[in-house]
Amino acid sequence: MYQHYQHCADQVETKLKKADDACKGVIKKRDKVKADMKLLQRQVSDLNKKLLNQENLQKQDMNHSPTSYEGEYFDELPPNSIITNLDPRELPKVEFDDALIGSPVAVHADEKGLGGPLGNEAENDPGKVAEKEAKARKD
């Protein structure tokens, strides 16, 4: 009888050991699944951030997108002759009037917003010169 009980105890012990090993295997799988879930959550979080950045960039780009007029204008490139810069030495010579260049005429706005000559130029103003001559004649 003792051998029978010993045999049953051995069988229960092996079954318990197999159940314990199976339980440990399930726990390992559960831990692996948890680690995979954390990894996937990080990846989803990173993708959400990238998506949000892309949406923000797209919204900003919409503010910079050309209007229909600009789109039509810039669809075709201008001819090459318009784009090229001209060498100033190749431009035709133009005669300039040195009297215009040499005349110091500067205009400023007074309190009323009207323009007039500055400083010493006010004394040389033809209207004021004529007034001074008229006063000098009267004296």
In the predicted model, what is the mean pLDDT of residues 4-25?
92
Residue 31 sits at the vertex; the CA angle it makes with 28 and 35, to the nearest 5 degrees, is 140
Most confident of 48-57, 75-84, 118-127: 48-57
pTM of the model: 0.36
d(CA 136, CA 128): 12
Give the tens place of pLDDT for each residue, 89-98: 776 777 767 7
Write phi, then psi, for 22 (nearest 5 degrees).
-65, -40
Strand partners, 108: 116
Domain boundaries, the chain: 2-74, 103-139
> Quick one: which H or E segment has residue 120?
helix 119-123
